[in-house]
Structure 1
Amino acid sequence: MLAAMLFLAIACPAHAGLRLDGQMTQGGMIIGHADPGAAVVLDGQPVRVAPDGRFVFGFGRDAPPSAVLQVSSPDGQTEQRILAIAQRRWDIQRIDGLPPSKVTPPPGLAERLKRERAAIGAARRHVSDAMFWAETLVWPSRGRISGVYGSQRILNGVPKQPHYGVDVAGPKGSPVSAPTAGIVTLAESDFYYEGGIVIIDHGYGVSSTLIHMERVDVKTGESVGQGQRIGLLGAAGRASGPHLDWRINWNGVRLDPALAISPMPDN
């Protein structure tokens, strides 16, 4: 499915200053280029535009088949474009006969999980003026892709939350690095589900979340550069084996990291 998707670099004849780069599909991250000073609105919601006219947005796993993008230039000219969003098929696995403890967290964890969810939510809501989201991303870890965005398991008949990241399997203790620069908004070593977790704000609502690390080497508030080591790969938290789970958010929208980066190198 992904191999058949068209990588769009759209040049708009009706508005010479507008270009959209990215995969126009569920999970895709789009980087736009408009005239400096332009105003951009997506499905009725304003999109932040940089002084040079660049902006970023994306589509979630269950995005509908179309979206409306409106761009208004400083000279008063307005263009409205209907964006066709490719619909994807997801890998759904049904697993029955599991012990209840494998499906539902043990009693007594409610308060801990509530605190951890709140900390993750607050870290992802941090929005800075940085524009590291516009740079070419690098893989935070190298290895076999063992899990993909959008997949979902139904355990004992109970649908679980879809997987919103890409999993990279590798040797325990392998380095994990920042996919691009930013500010660390969360760095914790022992969350229940995530184990070692780092969230990096790349600016304009775009953030990376990296989880299941056995060791975290950065602190909240620290600036990191692209490729800088932030921890070590592991199987901490709820994980079946050593791997890195990498996720990208744009504001409250969960994006597919595999669509925002070149394919994993062979070595």
Structure 2
Amino acid sequence: MRRRAARLARVAGVLPLVPLLGGCAAIPAGEQERSPTAVAAAPLPQPSNADQPAAVVLDGPAVQGGVVLGTAPAGTRALTLNGVAVRVAGDGRFLLGFDRDAGASAALVATLADGRTVTRTLTVASRGWRIERLDSLPRISQPSAEFARRRPAELAQIAAARRIDGDADGWRQRFVWPATGHISGLFGAQRIYRGEPGSYHSGVDVAVPTGTPVVAPADGVVILAADTPFTLEGNLLMIDHGYGLNSAFLHLSRIDVAVGQRVRQGQSIGAVGATGRATGPHLHWGMKWNEARIDPLLVAGEMSR
């Protein structure tokens, strides 16, 4: 018995006791507890940047009466502004114009070669206009018979000229003033006669003496040079700057260029006068982008003299 007891004691002194605590084994001495290795979840697939078409980029804000240059995404095969086609140059550059009465927003949509579309909603900044209310005066009297006879043919010539949209690159340039002097009439100004609105002023008037040279504000092609004075515009000259943008110069005393002639920015094109319906010598400079009337003051910037 003593031999058996001694043998059991020797076994107990050599082998550590392993308690059974819910099936968990004790941590051997000298080892630190380690957390189980975490298994990282597989990341969700992210769309490749290559799958996302580039955005339509504008160089500035959209403003009533203003223009802005932009760049279309690579591969654009069509661009529209409120559903109207916009010309895009080979390098992706384009021009937008916003009428004096343009709405608060506009939809610009680029259609890519693969059929996808890129849409950008533009916020068009509104402007305040000089409104003069003449409650004691009626609107101008009915036009004369001579005016009524001549005017349709004049308007047809103007409309035909504006339909010309050539390859001139003047639309890319920073425009200069065709004449410098006192600004006597602002774009967008309007008179209200006894509550009835008259037509708003469609250009900028620069009051300078008769004979003052008029220069091309940007490169372009002459699309109209009146042979005889028009009833309202007098000696009228129009220049296409390309991609829907054109300039009109009214009341000239003379015209120095011919239809189809290419002109360069700063080149002399005529002289200031008071022909047509004018109360004194001045240059009326009007601009249009497609059907939108544009404020030349926003295109040429502040006049420096």
State the TM-score, normalized to the length of structure 2: 0.76
Q: Tell me the residue number matched to 1:147.
A: 185
1:130 pairs with one of 152, 168, 173: 168
The 8 Å contact of residues 248 and 254 in structure 1, kept in 2 or not, is answered as yes
> How has the CA–CA distance of structure 1 residues 103 and 31 changed in structure 2, closer, same or farther, with 3 Å as cutoff?
farther
Q: Which residue of 2 aligns with 1:187?
A: 225
Q: Distance in 1 between matches of 2:53 and 2:74?
A: 13
Q: Deviations over 1:184-241 (max 9, x none)?
A: 1101141110111101011111111111111111121221111111111111111122
Cα separation, 1, equivalents of 2:186 and 2:148? 28
Number of the residue aligned with 2:151: 113
Q: Which runs of 5+ in 1 are unaligned?
A: 1-13
The change in CA–CA distance for 1:84 and 1:147 in structure 2 (over 3 A counts) is same
Change in CA separation of 1:233 and 1:156 when aligned onto 2, cut-off 3 Å: farther
CA offsets per residue over residues 120-164 of structure 1, 9 Å max, x none? 111111111222201111110011111111111234665321111
Q: Deviations over 1:88-125 (max 9, x none)?
A: 2211223366698x543222321201111111111111
Q: How does 1:56-95 map to 2 (within 5 A)?
A: 56-74=95-113, 78-95=117-134
The answer to whether the 8 A contact 2:56-2:120 is kept is: no
The separation in 1 between residues aligned to 2:84 and 2:213, in whole angstroms, is 39
Contact 1:93 1:152 in 2 (8 A): yes
| Residues 55 and 118, structure 2, Cα contact 8 Å, conserved in 1 | no
Unaligned runs of 5+ in 2: 1-51
Separation in structure 1 between the aligned mates of residue 147 and residue 111 of structure 2, nearest angstrom: 49
Q: How many angstroms apart in 2 are the aligned matches of 1:185 and 1:71?
A: 30
Structure-2 change in CA distance of 1:15 and 1:261 (3 Å): farther
For residue 202 of structure 1, the aligned residue among 241, 248, 268 is: 241
Q: Percent identity?
A: 48
Match of 1:235 among 274, 285, 288: 274
Whose strand proportion is higher, 1 or 2?
A: 1
TM-score by length of 1: 0.87
Q: How does 1:249-260 map to 2 (within 5 A)?
A: 249-260=288-299
Instruction: Give SS of 1:93's match.
Output: strand
CA spacing shift, 1:99–1:78, aligned 2, 3 Å: closer
The one-letter amino acid paired with 1:106 is S
Query: How far apart are the structure 2 equivalents of 1:99 and 1:235?
Result: 25
> How far apart, in 1, do the equivalents of 2:137 and 2:241 lie?
39
* C-alpha distance after superposition, 1:158-194 (max 9, x if no partner): 5321111111111221001111111111011411101
Aligned residues: 252
> What is the distance in 2 between the residues matched to 1:156 and 1:43?
35
After superposition, the Cα gap between the structure-2 partners of 1:17 and 1:241, relative to the gap in structure 1 and judged at 3 Å, is same
Q: Match of 1:246?
A: 285
Aligned amino acid, residue 179 of structure 2: S
